[in-house]
Structure 1
Amino acid sequence: MTDGGKLRARHLIHVPNTNKAGEQVQVEDIARATAAVIVTCELKGYNSVAVPLMGAFDTGIPAEEAARAIHSEFRSHRGERPIRVLFVARNSDEIDVFEMAIEGLS
């Protein structure tokens, strides 16, 4: 975890997507990374968190699978924190992917 610097966020939670650099990202890696974010929020008392579309890049998995894994982890979480989750998208395609995951489509 680091300071948010010039970002609007106060802190950045850094999580690995794979066990080794350059490895092919799997759905389980995204779920594990998302779970680590949730645990950090619980331990640090963070009420809100913004999560990008992790794992959907050149060596990653399809964006739809990544979005479903991220959303599923938050949906199944029964702890008190985070209260608010923001899914961060870089473009309209990523917005569509997150919306489909939230609505249970695709």
Structure 2
Amino acid sequence: MKDSCVKIEFVKGDITEADTEAIGNAANSRLAGGGGVDGAVHRKGGPDIMKELKKKYRGCPTGNAVITSGGKLKAKYVIHAVGPVYSGKSKDAELLANAYRSSLKLCTKHGIRSISFPSISTGVYGYPVEKAAPIAVNTTRNYLNQHPEIELVRFVLFDDRTLQAYQEAYSSLVSPPLETPSQPSNKKELRTHGHRVKV
């Protein structure tokens, strides 16, 4: 698969303040609101988001996502993705990847060109961020390579540790192997911490 110009950003901040067209919400399977990112999104976005969830959906399976309007948020849409509660089993990685992939598919379906994601499942769901970050970054990058209509994916991360984990995950993913005399240079540009990444 030939790489396109992949547009990914990593920033530390508050996802409820994101100015992308959509934001991702780390929801639970009942779509009932909760703590962490989920609670913050509903507090900032107002009651209309929950009203829409109750009207349109009856829960959401783990690994899937649903979409609502953004209520009072800057973002026009909220994509509510349900990540797994970490169990240490192999299915965790697949479910987490599916949560991001399902969200990105909704972007494509609704013509959304930019989205900000939190770090799904790494809060109260207990997914180790060092394991979750490579899954999130790899899934996103692979999807963007096939869907150039999405112009920007921004990961808005809560603290320095999480930000570093995502930056390192991206760096290890795109860094070329060590060059040898018989191997031509294949340099790639990597700029993170709020700057656009081109591969």
Instruction: Provide TM-score, normalisation by structure 2.
Output: 0.47
Deviation at 1:55, TM superposition (A): 1.2
Task: Classify the secondary structure of the residue corresponding to 2:115.
Answer: strand
Query: In the alignment, which residue of structure 2 is the partner of 1:47?
Result: 113
- Give the match for residue 24 of structure 1: 86
- C-alpha deviation, 1:61, in angstroms: 1.8
Higher normalized contact order (CA 8 Å, seq sep 6+, divided by chain length): 2
User: Which structure 2 segments of 5+ residues have no match?
Assistant: 1-66, 174-199
CA RMSD of aligned residues (A): 1.7
| Residue 84 of structure 1: aligned partner | 152
Cα deviation for residue 89 of structure 1 reads 0.4
Q: Secondary structure of the equivalent of 1:13?
A: strand
Aligned residue runs from structure 1 range 50-65, under 5 A: 50-65=116-131
Distance 1:28 1:42 in 2: 21
Query: Any runs of at least 4 consecutive aligned residues in structure 1 with deviations exceeding 4 A, and if so which?
Result: none
Equivalent residue number for residue 99 of structure 1: 167
Q: Which whole-Å CA distance do the structure 1 matches of 2:149 and 2:109 have between them?
A: 9
Aligned residues: 101
Q: Which has the larger radius of gyration?
A: 2
In 2, are the aligned partners of 1:51 and 1:86 still within 8 Å (CA)? yes
SS at match of 1:100: helix
Cα distance change on mapping 1:93 and 1:6 into 2, 3 Å: farther
Match in the other structure for 2:139: 73
Aligned to 1:57, the other structure's residue is in SS state coil
**Cα distance in 2, alignment partners of residues 96 and 4 from structure 1:** 28
Report if the CA contact (8 A) 2:86-2:121 is conserved: no
> Is 1:4 the equivalent of 2:70?
yes
Q: State the Cα distance separating 1:79 from its structure 2 match.
A: 1.3
Q: Distance in 2 between matches of 1:85 and 1:56?
A: 19
CA distance in 1, matches of 2:151, 2:110: 13
Query: Which residue pairs with 2:81 in the alignment?
Result: 15
Separation in 2 of the partners of 1:59 and 1:85?
Answer: 23
Q: Could you list the runs of 5+ residues in structure 1 that have no partner in the other structure?
A: none
Task: Tell me the distance in 1 between the aligned counterparts of 2:158 and 2:125.
Answer: 18
Could you tell me which amino acid in structure 1 is paired with residue 112 of structure 2? Y
